[in-house]
């Protein structure tokens, strides 16, 4: 599985417009063979911050959309200064927890040490947060400095379910297993404001 992600800043006076445009883009993508799902996620620490993610069966399926007439038409008309991309990344799946639901997303970035990738996948497979769906990702290297980048995306029904996990005995066990193969960098929480499936 392939993931294309974008970390964006949206002007606070154009939130509705930006969400509508990105949602329209994802609906165009959803007609492409190989599309899995796409989400627009609003950062809960800053009203201008967004995380946008699009999953396809592989990078070729995403490239096929990018080469389509629908994609070219979408980019032909581009609103001025609607949003700014701070970071665009590509990922390959290390662990797929299955179809994802829930409106609360926890995004964690990690750095996997040299030789640690062989253990990273099995560690993720052993992490099964109750009531959540976890997908683990490994960067598709563009530059040597990015070679160890890893991403955990966990979808929860709501914040209360995530809090219950943090207060459970499972959380420190999962944290210790992850720390054995990777260094945690950033943990952020998002509200999923748009979720598009195929069709």
Q: Say if residue 98's pLDDT is above 90.
A: no
| Every domain of the chain and the residues it spans | 2-196
CATH no., domain 2-196:
3.30.70.100
Residue range 97-102: mean pLDDT, rounded: 80
Predicted TM-score (pTM) of this structure? 0.92
Q: pLDDT grade, residue 61 (50/70/90)? A: very high
* Residue range 185-193: mean pLDDT, rounded: 96
Q: Residue 9 burial by CB count (10 A; 0-12/13-18/19+): exposed, middle or buried?
A: middle
CA dist., res. 40 & res. 131, Å (int): 21
pLDDT of 20 over the 70 cut: yes
In this predicted structure, the answer to whether residue 145 has a pLDDT above a threshold of 80 is no
pLDDT tens digits for range 146-166? 668 999 999 999 999 999 999
pLDDT value at position 143? Answer: 62
CB distance 9 to 84 below 8 Å: yes
Band (93; pLDDT cuts 50, 70, 90): very high
């Amino acid at each position: 599985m392939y993931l294309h992600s974008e970390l964006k800043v949206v002007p606070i006076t154009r939130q509705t417009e930006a969400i509508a445009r990105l949602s329209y883009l994802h609906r165009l993508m959803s007609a492409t063979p190989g599309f899995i799902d796409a989400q627009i996620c609003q950062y809960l620490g800053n009203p201008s911050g967004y995380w946008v993610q699009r999953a396809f069966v592989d990078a070729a399926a995403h490239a096929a959309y990018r080469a389509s007439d629908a994609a070219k038409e979408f980019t032909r008309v581009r609103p001025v200064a609607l949003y700014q991309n701070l970071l665009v990344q590509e990922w390959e799946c290390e662990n797929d927890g299955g179809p994802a639901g829930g409106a609360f997303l926890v995004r964690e970035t990690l750095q996997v040490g040299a030789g640690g990738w062989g253990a990273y996948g099995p560690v993720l497979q052993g992490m099964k947060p109750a009531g959540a769906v976890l997908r683990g990702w490994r960067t598709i290297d563009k530059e040597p400095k990015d070679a160890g980048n890893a991403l955990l995306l966990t979808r929860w029904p709501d914040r209360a379910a995530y809090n219950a996990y943090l207060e459970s005995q499972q959380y420190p066990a999962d944290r210790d297993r992850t720390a054995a193969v990777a260094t945690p960098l950033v943990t952020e929480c998002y509200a999923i404001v748009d979720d598009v499936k195929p069709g």
